[in-house]
Structure 1
Amino acid sequence: MSETILEMREITKTFPGVKALENVNLKVRKGEIHALMGENGAGKSTLMKVLSGVYPYGTFSGEIWYKGKRCEFRNTKQSEEAGIVIIHQELALIPQLSIAENIFLGNEQATRQIIHWNQTNQSAKELLKVVGLDESPGTLISSLGVGKQQLVEIAKALSKKVELLILDEPTAALNEEDSDNLLKLMLEFKKQGISSILISHKLNEVTKVADSVTTLRDGRTIETLDTKSEQFSEDRMIKGMVGRELTNRYPHRQPNIGEVVLEVSDWNVFHPLQNERQILHDIHFKIRRGEIVGIAGLMGAGRTELAMSIFGRAYGKKISGRIKLRGQEVHFRNISDAIAQGMAYVTEDRKELGLILMDDIKSNISLASLKQLSKLSVIREHQEIMEAESFRKKMNIKSPSILQKTGNLSGGNQQKVVLSKWILAKPEILILDEPTRGIDVGAKYEIYTIMNQLADEGKGILMISSELPELLGMCDRIYVMSEGRLTGELSRSEATQENIARLMTKGKGEHS
C-alpha cells in the first residue's frame, strides 16, 4: 500500500478578502482510507473542490498529481473520467426521479440519445447490491431516508468506475446504525483497491477506519500521521485541529438550579397528514431555571416532533395536553405566540429552517427580534448593527464583517449566528435540537460554553442530541424517548450510555 495515487503540492486558493488554502500538501496512497480533519473553515471542503474540478485549474496555484501524471481538471466531468468522484455533504440527488435515474444521471446508458431502460435498471440493481441497499431501482428518491440516499450516492459514484472516492461528512445526518454500515462499506471498498478520502468531525469514526490522517488548520497543513504509529491519538488530532489541547471536551459547570420554568403534561400529537397516526403519547416533563435537560432517543423516537409541537404547534395535528410557563398555563396558537412568551427553538436543520443563507449575518441575527428593534414598524438600523456587531464579537463568529453572506460561513459559525438570533430575543426557555451537528470539536466546545453561560443566567435549556457522550457531558438530567413515548428519566449520577441505550430500545409493551 506504499504506491501513491494522489499528491497535491503547495495548493493555494484565494477568495475575495480570504486566503482559504495556503501551500497545502496532501499525499494519498493507493487502496488506503485517508482522513482529512480540521475545524469548520479550515479548508477541507475547499481542497477537495480543487481536486475534483469544482474550482477549475487556473483558479488556484499549485500542482495535482494523480496516478503519476500532472492533472489540470477544468470541471468535475474531467476528474470523474479520471476516476475521482466526490460525494458532497449536501446530497446531489433529484427527489422526483427514481434510484436508477439518479445513479445514471449525466451518465445515461444510451445509444443515439435513446436510453436503454432494461440495461439501466439491471446495472442499477447490481450497484445497489454492491452497496447493500435492498430497494427496487424504480423507487423514487423522495421515499428514501437519508441513510439510504447516501448509499444511492455511493452507487452513483461506483457507476463512474471510481478509483478515488471523496466523502465529505458522509455520516453527519445518519444515525449510528447507518453510520456503521457506511464505514463497513468503505472498508469493503478498501479491500477492492479503491482509495478513499474521508472528511469527518467524528474522531471515533476516523480512528475506526482511517489508515492515515492529515490535519488542516486555518488553510494550512499541520501534519499527516499514520493511525498505527505511536504518535497518533485523539488528543493529538484535537490539538492539531484547534491549536491547543482540550483537556476536557465539556466545559465544567457548577449548576445553580431554581424553580420549574416549563412543565409539559399529557402531551399527545398526531401526524400532520396521516390523521389517525399518533406520534407522541402522554408526554410529561419539566425544566427548571439554570438546568440543562437532555432528550435521548433513536431516530424516529419523536424527539424533534416533541420540540416542534411545543414550540407554537410548528408540527402535528390534534395536539392535546398542557404547557405551563412560570407556573401559569399558556396556549400557543403559533410560533409568534411561543416567541412572545419567551421560548426559542434552534432547529436541527440550520440551513433549511434556521437561517436565510442568501442574507447577511446582521439580518439573520435580528430576525426573531424585529419588534423590539423597530419603532413605528421601521427598523432602527443603528441599533440592529450594534447588536449584530456585539454578537459577532461575543460569539467569536469568524467573518470580516456582519454584512458577510451567511451562506458563506462555515457550519460552526452558522450555528453561532442561529444561537445569536435566539439569544437576542431574550428567551427563558431554549430548545436546542442537535446543536453541534456537523461542526468540529473546537466549535463544539464554544457552543457548550455558551450553553453553560445561558444556564448560569437562569435560562432553562432542553437539548436534543444523537451523541450520547454529549448528553452525558452536558446535561443535569436526561429524558429518554422510544416510539413517541418517554421511557425513563435519569439524573446525572444515574445516566450512563448503557442505561440510556436500554431505555432507548424499549418496545411498546415495555413503556412505563
Structure 2
Amino acid sequence: MREEILRLERVTCREQGVVQLENFNLQIFRGEIMGLLAVNSHGLNTLVRLLRRRLPLERGYVYYRERQINAWGSQIPDRTLQRIGIIENRSSLVSGMTVADNIFVLRPSFKSWLIRTSLLRTQLKPVLEQLGADFSPDDYVDRLTPFQRFVVEMLKAVLGGCRLIVLREVSTFISDADLSRLHAIIRKFAQEGISFLYIGYHFEELREICDRTALLMNGTIPKVLLRGEPLFPCGEPYHQLVRGQMERENSTSPTKRVAFQASHITGGEVRDLSFSVQPGECVVLQDLNNQIFADLLDLVTGQLPLEKGNFEMEGKPFAPGYTREIAILLEHAHDSMLIKEMSVLDNLCFTLDHRLPEVWRSNRLRRGIERECGELLDPELFSLWPEQLTTPQKYDLIYTRVLLQKPKVIFCAQPFQGADMELRMRIWNHLKRLQEQGAALVILAVNLADSLSLAHQLIRIHRGGPHEYYSREDFSRLSDTTPWADFYQHFG
C-alpha cells in the first residue's frame, strides 16, 4: 500500500468572512508529482497559506505523513507542525550568504556554535555533483541564475527534512530550457520518495511532469486527471477565442510601416539586441536567463545610458526618456501600476493630460470620460478607490487607461504572470484591443505562456548571444510543450 504524504479531507476554510476552500479534498502519495491546475485562483492563496502554517478550519481535517496536523474545532500541539517546503517566484534565500550557508546554517535544526565551512562544503559538494549542478557550495546566492537559486531552495527543503515540496508558478521565472533540466531534478527527487505539489496555469506544462493533475475551481477540486487524460472542457472557451483570432489574422496582410525599432542595443545586461515592430503587431522577447528586463526598460526610459546602438520611432531617431508615446506595463500590473492615494477616475485620467490638458480642471470633461468608458468599466467603480477593486477590475482599469492614452508602443513585462485561466482570457482581450487600436506590442517574457498566442515575432535572448529569431511561420518548430505551439503547428 502506498504511503500517504498529504491528505486534505472535506476542508472548508474561511478568510475575512469569505469561504475560500469548500469541501476541498486532495491526496498526495510518497514520490508522487501532483499537479494543481488553477482554472481560477479562488482559494489558491489560502491553500498555500494552509500548507505553510495552520489556519483555523471551519470543517475538515489535514493529515501530513499519515498524522493529523489540523482539524476543525481542535488545537493540535506545535510539535506536529508539518515540514512542507514552498518555493514561489520570490526567493526565500538570504542575500550576501553562500549556498552552503543558506542550506545548512539557516535551517532550524542547525545548532552548532561554530560554522565549519570546510565540513559544510564537503557534505554538499557530492549532492551538487549528483544533480549535475553548475555552481559550488561557496558561491554567493546573489550571483546565481534564477534556475540555480531554485535548485538551492529545493536542496534546502529536502535536506531540511521536507517530504512534500510545493512549487508555484515555476514557468514564470524559469525559462523553457532550464525547465526541462528542472523537471529532471524533480523526477530524481521523486524517485527518492520526495512528493511535489506542482501548481501552474498551463495544462501543457503540467502534463509533461505530473502523475496526476487536480483542477482547482472556485475553491474546490471538481476533477483529478490521470496522466494522458485530456483537459476538456475547462479551457475550451479560451482556445476557441485564440483559434478564431489566429484564423482571422491569417487572412489579413500586415502593414510595412515600422512603429519602433531597436538596433544593436547594448547597456547593462542587454547585449547587441535588435528588433522592430509594426503598428498592431506583437514581438515577444523571451529572456532565457531572466536577466535583462529591468535594464531594457531602463534603456528605453533613459534611466540607463546606451553603450551602443540606437532606437527609432516611426523611422525617426528616438531619444530614450519618458514619453506618452510609449506605455510600460510592469509585472503584476494590478499591484504595481495603480496609485492607491488616487480614486479610480483619477487613476484612469493619469496619463491623459497630453491629449486633454484640461482633464484635471474640468469636471465636465471628466464626466465625459466616465461616459466614454462605460462599456469598458462598470460606472459604479469611478467613485471607488483602487484597494476596493477586485483583481480583474484592477486589470480592466489599467488597460483602459492605456487604451485612452493611445501610445504608439507598449512594453509589457510578463502580462500573464500569476493569472488564472479566466484572468488570462481577460488580459488577452485587453492586449488584442490595444493591437486593434494600432499599438505595437513588445512583450517581455521568461516563459512564453500565452504571449505566443499574440505574437508575430519571437526573439529568444541568450546571455551573451547569439539570439534566436522566429517569425510566425517558424512557430511550428517550437517544442510541443510550449503553450499554443500546437495551434501554430496546425496553422503552419
The TM-score normalised by the length of structure 2 is 0.78
Q: Matched residues in 2 for 1:405 and 1:214: separation? A: 32
Q: Contact (CA 8 Å) 2:352, 2:404: kept in 1 or not?
A: no
Q: Contact (CA 8 Å) 1:10, 1:25: kept in 2 or not?
A: yes
Map 1:169-184 → 2, pairs under 5 A:
169-184=169-184
Q: Matched residues in 2 for 1:387 and 1:60: separation? A: 45
Query: Is 1:66 matched with 2:64?
Result: yes
Number of the residue aligned with 1:452: 432
Kindly tell me: are residues 402 and 143 of structure 1, through their superposed partners in 2, closer, same or farther at Cα, counting changes over 3 Å? Answer: farther
Q: Which of 308, 313, 317 is equivalent to 2:297? A: 308
Deviates more, 1:139-148 or 1:361-370: 361-370
Q: Matched residues in 2 for 1:19 and 1:82: separation? A: 24
Displacement of 1:426 after TM fit?
2.8
Number of the residue aligned with 1:323: 312
Q: Matched residues in 2 for 1:294 and 1:479: separation? A: 8
Number of the residue aligned with 2:226: 226
Number of the residue aligned with 1:510: none
Q: Matched residues in 1 for 2:97 and 2:256: separation? A: 53
Kindly tell me: are residues 286 and 19 of structure 1, through their superposed partners in 2, closer, same or farther at Cα, counting changes over 3 Å? Answer: same
Q: Contact (CA 8 Å) 1:355, 1:364: kept in 2 or not?
A: no
Q: Matched residues in 1 for 2:266 and 2:383: separation? A: 43
Q: Matched residues in 1 for 2:340 and 2:97: separation? A: 27
Q: Which of 400, 408, 422 is equivalent to 2:402? A: 422
Number of the residue aligned with 1:293: 282
Kindly tell me: are residues 140 and 479 of structure 1, through their superposed partners in 2, closer, same or farther at Cα, counting changes over 3 Å? Answer: closer
Q: Matched residues in 2 for 1:364 and 1:121: separation? A: 56
Q: Matched residues in 1 for 2:363 and 2:64: separation? A: 52
Kindly tell me: are residues 392 and 68 of structure 1, through their superposed partners in 2, closer, same or farther at Cα, counting changes over 3 Å? Answer: farther
Number of the residue aligned with 2:487: none
| Letter paired with 1:279 | R
Deviations 1:241-296 (A, max 9, x none): xxx67435455164575573624264543338xxxxx7226x36241x3x223235
Number of the residue aligned with 1:275: none
Q: Matched residues in 1 for 2:12 and 2:375: separation? A: 28
Q: Which of 313, 327, 333 is equivalent to 1:344? A: 327
Q: Contact (CA 8 Å) 2:259, 2:277: kept in 1 or not?
A: yes
Q: Matched residues in 2 for 1:488 and 1:388: separation? A: 43
| Letter paired with 2:281 | I
Deviations 1:70-129 (A, max 9, x none): 2139899867x6442222332211122221222131425333x44444443333435434
| Letter paired with 2:240 | T
Number of the residue aligned with 1:508: none
Q: Matched residues in 1 for 2:33 and 2:242: separation? A: 26
Where in structure 2 are there 5+ consecutive unaligned residues?
480-492
Where in structure 1 are there 5+ consecutive unaligned residues?
273-277, 500-512
Deviates more, 1:466-475 or 1:174-183: 466-475
Q: Contact (CA 8 Å) 1:479, 1:486: kept in 2 or not?
A: yes
Kindly tell me: are residues 418 and 178 of structure 1, through their superposed partners in 2, closer, same or farther at Cα, counting changes over 3 Å? Answer: farther
Q: Matched residues in 2 for 1:8 and 1:388: separation? A: 47
| Letter paired with 1:28 | I
Q: Matched residues in 2 for 1:154 and 1:382: separation? A: 58
Q: Contact (CA 8 Å) 1:362, 1:385: kept in 2 or not?
A: no
Q: Matched residues in 2 for 1:198 and 1:386: separation? A: 48
Kindly tell me: are residues 368 and 154 of structure 1, through their superposed partners in 2, closer, same or farther at Cα, counting changes over 3 Å? Answer: farther
Q: Matched residues in 2 for 1:65 and 1:298: separation? A: 40
Kindly tell me: are residues 99 and 261 of structure 1, through their superposed partners in 2, closer, same or farther at Cα, counting changes over 3 Å? Answer: same
Q: Contact (CA 8 Å) 1:356, 1:364: kept in 2 or not?
A: no
Displacement of 1:496 after TM fit?
3.2
Number of the residue aligned with 2:50: 50
Q: Matched residues in 1 for 2:122 and 2:345: separation? A: 50
Q: Contact (CA 8 Å) 1:292, 1:461: kept in 2 or not?
A: yes
Map 1:425-504 → 2, pairs under 5 A:
425-466=405-446, 470=450, 473-478=453-458, 483=464, 488=469, 490=471, 492-493=472-473, 495-497=475-477
Kindly tell me: are residues 248 and 144 of structure 1, through their superposed partners in 2, closer, same or farther at Cα, counting changes over 3 Å? Answer: same
Deviations 1:284-322 (A, max 9, x none): 6241x3x22323555259974785266322444335434
**Secondary structure of 1:234's aligned partner:** coil
| Letter paired with 2:415 | P
Displacement of 1:168 after TM fit?
1.6
Displacement of 1:372 after TM fit?
6.4
Displacement of 1:476 after TM fit?
3.8
Displacement of 1:485 after TM fit?
6.7
| Letter paired with 1:212 | R
**Secondary structure of 1:311's aligned partner:** helix
Q: Matched residues in 1 for 2:457 and 2:428: separation? A: 16
Map 1:360-371 → 2, pairs under 5 A:
362=344, 365-366=347-348, 368-369=350-351, 371=353
Displacement of 1:477 after TM fit?
4.6
Number of the residue aligned with 1:198: 198
Query: Is 1:189 matched with 2:189?
Result: yes
Displacement of 1:432 after TM fit?
2.4
Q: Matched residues in 2 for 1:487 and 1:314: separation? A: 27
Q: How many matched pairs?
A: 468
Kindly tell me: are residues 142 and 363 of structure 1, through their superposed partners in 2, closer, same or farther at Cα, counting changes over 3 Å? Answer: farther
Q: Which of 385, 388, 391 is equivalent to 1:403? A: 385
Q: Matched residues in 2 for 1:351 and 1:77: separation? A: 37
Number of the residue aligned with 1:138: 138
| Letter paired with 1:446 | R
Q: Contact (CA 8 Å) 1:360, 1:405: kept in 2 or not?
A: no
CA RMSD of aligned residues (A): 4.3
The TM-score normalised by the length of structure 1 is 0.75
Number of the residue aligned with 1:151: 151
Displacement of 1:130 after TM fit?
5.0
Q: Matched residues in 2 for 1:463 and 1:329: separation? A: 22
| Letter paired with 1:35 | G
Kindly tell me: are residues 369 and 17 of structure 1, through their superposed partners in 2, closer, same or farther at Cα, counting changes over 3 Å? Answer: farther
Kindly tell me: are residues 266 and 27 of structure 1, through their superposed partners in 2, closer, same or farther at Cα, counting changes over 3 Å? Answer: closer
Q: Matched residues in 1 for 2:382 and 2:120: separation? A: 49
